Amino acid sequence: MMEFSVILEPENIGGDWLLKGRCITDLFVNGRFTELVRFDFPENGTQENLPIEGETWEVDLKIEKISAYQHEFEKINAGMTAAVTVSGDGEKLASNWLAPSKLNVCVLRGRMD
């Protein structure tokens, strides 16, 4: 499984979508994200409280390019920040995306093809 936390609002770049965020797991070019999941944090929680998985939307987004640190990668490791260019259901992604805050974060989940 692949997971990517989207930190900034998705940008439409000539029909593809640029996503900026942090790799929760390793990511690979040609991998596919199939779910957009919102995680909510308890409002009066402490650092020990884990986020609660919220709404989920089906998407079909293919990773076309991974960029980080002024380089392009075929694979990038978990924990790294990156700009990921995807093709596919970008409109669905943009319409269901929520700006990260202290109370929520959006994560893309998928698989390596």
pLDDT in tens, 22-80: 999 999 999 999 998 887 766 665 555 666 777 888 899 999 999 999 999 999 999 99
**Contact at 8 Å (CB) between 34 and 110?**
yes
**Which of 78, 76, 83, 89 lies closest to 32, judged by CA?**
89
What is the per-residue pLDDT for 8?
A: 82
Structural domains present in the chain: 2-111 (2.40.30.10)
Residue-wise pLDDT for 73-109, tens only, equals 999 999 999 999 999 987 777 777 665 555 567 788 8
More confident residue, 113 or 88: 88
Residue 54's pLDDT is 77
Cα 70 to Cα 67: distance, rounded to the nearest angstrom: 7
48: DSSP letter = T
Model pTM score: 0.83
Decide if pLDDT at 113 tops 90: no
Through-space distance between the first and last CA atoms of the chain, rounded to whole angstroms: 10
pLDDT reported for residue 95:
74
Per-residue pLDDT, 101: 59
